Each structure stands twice: as C-alpha cells, then as structure tokens.
Amino acid sequence: TQLLEQSPQFLSIQEGENLTVYCNSSSVFSSLQWYRQEPGEGPVLLVTVVTGGEVKKLKRLTFQFGDARKDSSLHITAAQPGDTGLYLCAGISGGSNYKLTFGKGTLLTVNP
C-alpha cells in the first residue's frame, strides 16, 4: 500500500509569513498533485508535477517534486488570509487508472 505522509498537520501563522508544507513517501509516483479544499466544497486542483526535480510556480505558491519522485513540497510566500484552507497532496501511480493516493492534509490558518 502506498502512503503519503504530509506535514505539518496543522499550521497557524500571521499574515505576511512564509510557510512550507511537506509530502513524503517511500514509493515512487508517476506524478503528484496538490489540492486546496475549503469547508463544504470539494478539493480544487492547484498543480500537477510530473518530472523529478520539477518546480512550478503559481503566483505566491511554489511547488517542487523531488528528484526521486517520492516527495514534494509546497511553499507559500507572504501568506494571506485568503490562503486559509486544507491543503492536500496526492500521488498518482503508473498505469492508466489515475487513482489518487492522498496525504492526510495540512489545515492552514492565516490570521490577519
């Protein structure tokens, strides 16, 4: 069974601070996705990283896929209250069924 360990589980910071969320596994994934989920809604895809060592930027969010494709990180610069939410990493194994294996999530609260 493939597992994704996500840390930290909870993070409460002040507006303007930087933060990093980590997603680690002992398994190799063909790609890894990051989602953000708000209360009462489904997860919304932020990014997919495919190549080992890949770095993608989405405004103040920077996503990195580890060289061995077993781990990933999400870095947020100058966090804002609107960044508050549940951040989920999810790995996709090889094959054509695109099954997502999720981490347990990081609940981020950005205080004004």
Partner 1 sequence: DTAVSQTPKYLVTQMGNDKSIKCEQNLGHDTMYWYKQDSKKFLKIMFSYNNKELIINETVPNRFSPKSPDKAHLNLHINSLELGDSAVYFCASSQSESGYTFGSGTRLTVV
The residues in 53-92 that bind partner 1, with binding defined as CB under 8 A, are 86, 88, 90, 92
Q: Which is closer to partner 1, CB of 88 or CB of 110?
A: 88
State yes or no: residue 97 binds partner 1 (CB under 8 A): yes
- Which residue in the set 48, 62, 73, 84 belongs to the binding site for partner 1 (CB under 8 A)? 48
- Where are any strands of DSSP class E within 1-112? 5-7, 10-14, 19-24, 31-37, 44-49, 55-58, 61-65, 71-76, 85-92, 100-102, 106-111
Encoded amino acid at 25, one letter: S
Q: Does 26 bind partner 1 (CB under 8 A)?
A: no
Binding residue for partner 1 (CB under 8 A) from 3, 99, 109, 111? 99
Nearer to partner 1, 95 or 112 (CB): 95
Residue 92, both tokens = 């996709």
Say which residues have a Cβ less than 8 Å from residue 64's Cβ, sequence separation at least 6.
49, 53, 54, 55, 56, 72, 73, 75
The residues of the shown chain that bind partner 1, judged by CB under 8 A, are: 30-31, 33, 37, 40-45, 48, 50, 86, 88, 90, 92, 96-102, 104-105, 107
